[in-house]
């Protein structure tokens, strides 16, 4: 289990590595059928952008086609701000 503390401002979650990237708090997590909360994949993938390892790339390639259009757009926009030359951008078009 990993516990992460996140920055917020009012009803907005702020990406701690670049505070200009944000999302409504209500949109950063989902719940399993049993009610266990988890970070949505676009948020998790954004954290993997800075120092992408092979396993992170594999995670991205596995998950990218399951992202809905809104998640893909948000992740693409966030990566363009945070790491504008990142290889994942070409896969999010």
Question: Is 1 domain-assigned?
Answer: no
DSSP 67: S
Residue 8 pLDDT greater than 90, yes or no: no
Burial 84-93 (b: 16+ CB within 10 A, else e): eebebeeebe
Taking residues 26-33, report their average pLDDT.
94
Q: Please give the tally of structural domains in the chain.
A: 1
Structural domain including 36 reads 7-91
pLDDT at site 36: 94
Question: Is 2 domain-assigned?
Answer: no
Within 8 A by CB and 6+ apart from 26, the residues are: 11
Torsion angles phi and psi, residue 29, rounded to 5: -135, 160
Predicted TM-score (pTM) of the model is 0.89
Burial of residue 13 (CB within 10 Å: 0-12, 13-18, 19+) is buried
Q: pLDDT digit string (tens) for 45-70? A: 999 999 999 999 999 999 999 999 99
- Tokens at 83, concatenated: 């790491």
pLDDT at site 55: 97
pLDDT at site 4: 63
């Amino acid at each position: 289990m990993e516990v992460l503390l996140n920055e917020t401002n009012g009803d907005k979650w702020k990406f701690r590595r670049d505070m200009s990237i944000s999302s409504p708090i209500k949109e950063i997590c989902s719940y399993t059928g049993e009610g266990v909360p988890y970070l949505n994949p676009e948020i998790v993938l954004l954290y993997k952008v800075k120092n992408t390892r092979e396993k992170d790339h594999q995670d991205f390639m596995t998950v990218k086609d399951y992202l809905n259009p809104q998640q893909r757009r948000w992740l693409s926009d966030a990566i363009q701000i945070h790491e504008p030359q990142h290889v994942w951008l070409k896969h999010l078009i």
